[in-house]
Structure 1
Amino acid sequence: MSESASPKGRKAAGKGTARDGAAKESGPAQGAPKLNPREAAVEALMRLAAEQPWNDIEIGDVAREADLTLADLREFYPSKGAILGGLARMIDRAVLAEDNSDLADEPARERLFDVLMRRLDAMTPYKPALRRISYALRGDPLSMLALNGVMLNSHRYMLAAAGIDTEGPLGRLKLQGLVIAFARVTETWLEDDDPALARTMARLDKEIRNGERFMERAEDARRLTAPFRALGRAFLDRRRPGRRDAERRDEDSDPAAAI
């Protein structure tokens, strides 16, 4: 495992500039370029969420904090949940913009570890807000379901950044498993105030290893059941002779079908 990807290496190097600013209030740094309206709305919601209960924040509050009209805010986001989706995309962009070429020769486990730690680094300025939001949404299954869809899209790109495929019969299982695993890691991270994030890194390493073992068992099960699936398809084909006859007639009438 490379020094940058391993828990030990990251602890020794103190990697993660975002982590160093964990105590700072979220929002653009002084003198930074003016945010576009989408980013301004995200930053406004994060500032409000860091200071007051999630359920007390109204859309009008976000518009005022972002210096936007309600009409402008509606143009970009229909709800607070949609603004959280905007935050996820900002985090995605920050992680994907980093150079991962130094990880190309590392095993998949180390590549994924590093990418996900970079994601946590990018989330760090918003940690106080995310802590409050996490507590508020735990009792809201509909919001959690909607956020799961957002996280599926985000982690599809995290896996791609780590050079791990998400297509094929087990791709969806792999992707959903990562979303669940990272949610568990995030729970630890939200309570981990150690600048070195030793507990968080240990939890992430454990979740990745558990995921590897689960996917290995799933792949073994898929191989073992392959003959039964083939028999099932053959049985269904025999039960649908009309469809087979139609396919044969199509082949007879289309010379290209035989190529």
Structure 2
Amino acid sequence: MVDAAMKLAGQKGWRATTMADIAAEAKLSLADIYRTFPGKSDILRGFTRQIDELVLSEGGQDDGTETLRDRVFDVMMRRFDALTPYRAAVDAVSRDLRGDPVAAAIHACALRRSLAWMLEAAGVPADGLVGAVRVKGLGVIYLAVMRVWLTDDSADLSRTMAALDARLRQAEQFSRTLRSRGRRGDQTGTDEDSTSGSDPLPGTPV
């Protein structure tokens, strides 16, 4: 059902795709679709969950040599890799949601949950107030890099990788600046702030 919906979205746009279209493409009855996905927003949540599960199932074992930024980079690139077969659909959905504030708000909630799981997969706590700030920070990075990914026709997504790396480095520098301000006057904090393992997402100055 999800694949049928995404295929049609890529062909004719998300707004123009009806539940009847999806049922016909999936060779199912409307009742079959309704039992699983009562509305189009539910299909989008199903798609997001499908991508989440794919990314989370592909996680490798950390040998302890990767920095936190490297781990976030790897997880997010796995996400863009998983989304690539559906690029036309993602583009169509993104454009059409701009004209539907209610659907956009529903999708934003699902995206925040997904990004929290992406952080957890990278070994970054995503709970509590600090976690919420990190999720928001990753969301800003993700949406900015997605604009590059949507037009990235390179075989290895090199433009997307470069954009993601640049954004994570900027976020890491910002996080270091917050720590530095929070520890101003504490001379023992200077060396720690200069390490490459700093949190690459804005979180807390402590």
| TM-score (norm: length of structure 2) | 0.81
Is 1:135 the equivalent of 2:95? yes
Counterparts of 1:86-101 in structure 2 under 5 Å? 86-101=46-61
Task: Give the counterpart letter for 2:85 in structure 1.
Answer: P
TM-superposed deviation, 1:168: 4.0
- Give the conservation status (yes or no) of the 8 Å contact 1:77–1:83: yes
Taking the aligned partners of 1:138 and 1:209, their CA distance within structure 2 comes to 29
> Is the alpha carbon distance of 1:209 and 1:142 closer, same or farther for their aligned partners in structure 2, counting shifts above 3 Å?
farther
TM-superposed deviation, 1:170: 1.5
Out of 153, 166, 187, the residue aligned to residue 193 of structure 1 is 153
- Give the conservation status (yes or no) of the 8 Å contact 1:103–1:111: no
Considering only aligned residues, what root-mean-square deviation do their CA atoms show, in Å?
2.0
Aligned counterpart, 2:41: 81
Aligned counterpart, 2:119: 159
Aligned counterpart, 1:145: 105
> Is the alpha carbon distance of 1:175 and 1:204 closer, same or farther for their aligned partners in structure 2, counting shifts above 3 Å?
same
Out of 146, 155, 172, the residue aligned to residue 132 of structure 2 is 172
Counterparts of 1:47-62 in structure 2 under 5 Å? 47-62=7-22
Question: For 1:170, what is the secondary structure of its paired residue?
Answer: helix
> Is the alpha carbon distance of 1:220 and 1:166 closer, same or farther for their aligned partners in structure 2, counting shifts above 3 Å?
farther
Decide which structure has the larger Cα Rg and report it: 1
- Give the conservation status (yes or no) of the 8 Å contact 1:127–1:190: yes
Taking the aligned partners of 1:68 and 1:153, their CA distance within structure 2 comes to 30
Is 1:66 the equivalent of 2:26? yes
TM-superposed deviation, 1:213: 3.0
- Give the conservation status (yes or no) of the 8 Å contact 2:13–2:89: no
Out of 64, 77, 86, the residue aligned to residue 117 of structure 1 is 77
TM-superposed deviation, 1:147: 1.4
TM-superposed deviation, 1:52: 0.6
Taking the aligned partners of 1:217 and 1:146, their CA distance within structure 2 comes to 34
Task: Give the counterpart letter for 1:158 in structure 2.
Answer: M
Task: Give the counterpart letter for 1:118 in structure 2.
Answer: R
Aligned counterpart, 2:144: 184
| TM-score (norm: length of structure 1) | 0.65
> Is the alpha carbon distance of 1:68 and 1:212 closer, same or farther for their aligned partners in structure 2, counting shifts above 3 Å?
same
Task: Give the counterpart letter for 1:207 in structure 2.
Answer: R
TM-superposed deviation, 1:112: 0.6
Task: Give the counterpart letter for 1:87 in structure 2.
Answer: F
- Give the conservation status (yes or no) of the 8 Å contact 2:55–2:79: yes
- Give the conservation status (yes or no) of the 8 Å contact 1:148–1:179: no
Taking the aligned partners of 2:63 and 2:100, their CA distance within structure 1 comes to 38
Offset from partner CA, 1:36-77 (integer Å, 9 cap, x none): xxxxx1001011112112221111111121122222211211
Taking the aligned partners of 1:54 and 1:62, their CA distance within structure 2 comes to 11
- Percent identity between the two aligned chains: 40
Unaligned segments of structure 2, at least 5 residues: 185-206
TM-superposed deviation, 1:198: 2.1
Out of 200, 208, 216, the residue aligned to residue 168 of structure 2 is 208
Unaligned segments of structure 1, at least 5 residues: 1-40, 225-259
Aligned counterpart, 1:45: 5
